[in-house]
A = this chain, B = another copy of it.
Amino acid sequence: MSRAMRTPEPYFSRIKELRSEIERRRLDAYFVQDRMDQYWLTGFTGEDGGVLVTPRQVVLLTDGRFDEAADHEAPWARKVLRKKRGPEATIRELRRLRARRVGFNGGHMSVSEFNALRKLGKPIRLVPIPSAIQPRRAVKTPGEVARIRKAVVVAEQAFDAVRKWLRPGLTEREIAARLAYEMRQRGAQGEAFPSIVAVGPNSSLPHYEPGDRRLTETEPLLVDWGARVDWYGSDLTRVVWLGSIPAQLRKVFDVVREAQARGIEAVRPGVRAAAVDRAARQVIDKAGFGKRFNHALGHGIGLVGHEAPRLGKLSTDVLEPGMVITIEPGIYLPGVGGVRLEDDVLVTETGHEVLSTLPLSFA
């Protein structure tokens, strides 16, 4: 565990970028608290952690439980094992580093913690800098894209296994449990987020928790799921019918499929995320279902379920090569059912690549 050890990639580049932000903002240090920010920046996976970055040093605060993990994952950082959570160790290190102006993400620090740090740390000043890390996470390295690809494959294989096992009478909860199991058996750490498994009218609720409703031959089954593999997640949605599709939902399905195709076509570097949303939304508006598509077209994926960029009407984000986003239009008919189709799409240098490969319908 030599402190002189060189910081490996991709962490070296990321820390360098953060350091240029530190310089631009005239900070002495930046305090990273979010676990996934910390992982992205250093590779350290411990549950208890905090990272202090200065122009010359990287300090990793954790506790004894993650001592071994710290040595293994970020041996090039200065490791500080603290006896308890709380402001003491952080302030001690900031004093040792002679840091006076310290940036942090105000969305990741509680009022209690802020007050405790401020009280103990006088005259250290904590400066909220929200955009030091999160927007940078939106553009993925090839290594990150490779992990998302794996998460897509695992999710798709698990879905195929579950689809073959589906039969009338299974509850939403049983199907969700089976899907999680199949993903984990294929190497997933777990679900990327709690799956939505919704039968019949439940499929018209965009955020539904699986319950006791049973699968039938005449109602749609909507599944919105993803796998987390090596910390990176996928996010897919399909609708399945065991029998034939009722005419009303067949029409809706066709509109959603067309909207998704238009959305995906619009994905390329330099395009505004709001324009991609509009490309898909226009199809649904024209078909007369505009009010039944009441959420954004998509969002970035990666270390958490929803990351930057946001693909909504009011988004100011612009797509860049390396972003991985979902395209997921939906139409929801209360009391009847909903159709959403969701795929994961990589923004490439010249356009896009759809990472997911499942067919849209399973008739």
Contacts and interface: CB of A to CB of B under 8 A. Distances in A.
A66 B177 CA distance: 24
Interface in A296-325: none
A158 to B, nearest CB: 11
A185 interface: yes
A111 B114 contact: yes
A26 interface: no
Contact of A111 (B65, B110, B176): B110
Interface in A86-133: 104-115, 128, 130
A174 interface: yes
A185 B109 CA distance: 38
Interface in A42-80: 47, 64-66, 68
A207 interface: yes
Count chain B CB atoms within 10 A of each CB in A111, A190, A194 and give the residue with the most: A111
Nearest to A186: B177
A184 B190 contact: no
A174 B183 CA distance: 10
A68 B207 CA distance: 12
Number of copies: 2
A104 B115 CA distance: 14
Contacts of A66: 207
B189 A184 contact: no
Interface in A185-214: 185, 187, 189-190, 194, 205-207, 209
A178 interface: yes
Interface residues of A, number: 37
A268 B205 CA distance: 46
A180 interface: yes
Nearest to A111: B106
A106 B116 CA distance: 11
A14 interface: no
A110 B34 CA distance: 12
A112 B114 CA distance: 11
Given A107-B111, A107-B112, A180-B184, 16 more contacts: A65-B205, A66-B207, A68-B205, A104-B111, A105-B112, A107-B113, A109-B110, A109-B111, A112-B128, A112-B130, A115-B128, A174-B185, A177-B180, A177-B184, A180-B181, A189-B209
Interface of A: 47, 64-66, 68, 104-115, 128, 130, 173-174, 176-178, 180-181, 184-185, 187, 189-190, 194, 205-207, 209, 294
30 contacts: A47-B207, A64-B294, A65-B206, A66-B207, A68-B205, A104-B111, A105-B112, A107-B112, A107-B113, A109-B110, A110-B110, A110-B111, A111-B114, A111-B128, A112-B128, A112-B130, A115-B128, A173-B187, A174-B184, A174-B185, A176-B184, A177-B180, A177-B181, A177-B184, A178-B181, A180-B180, A180-B181, A180-B184, A189-B209, A190-B194
Closest 6 CB pairs of A and B: A177-B184, A106-B112, A106-B111, A181-B181, A107-B112, A111-B114
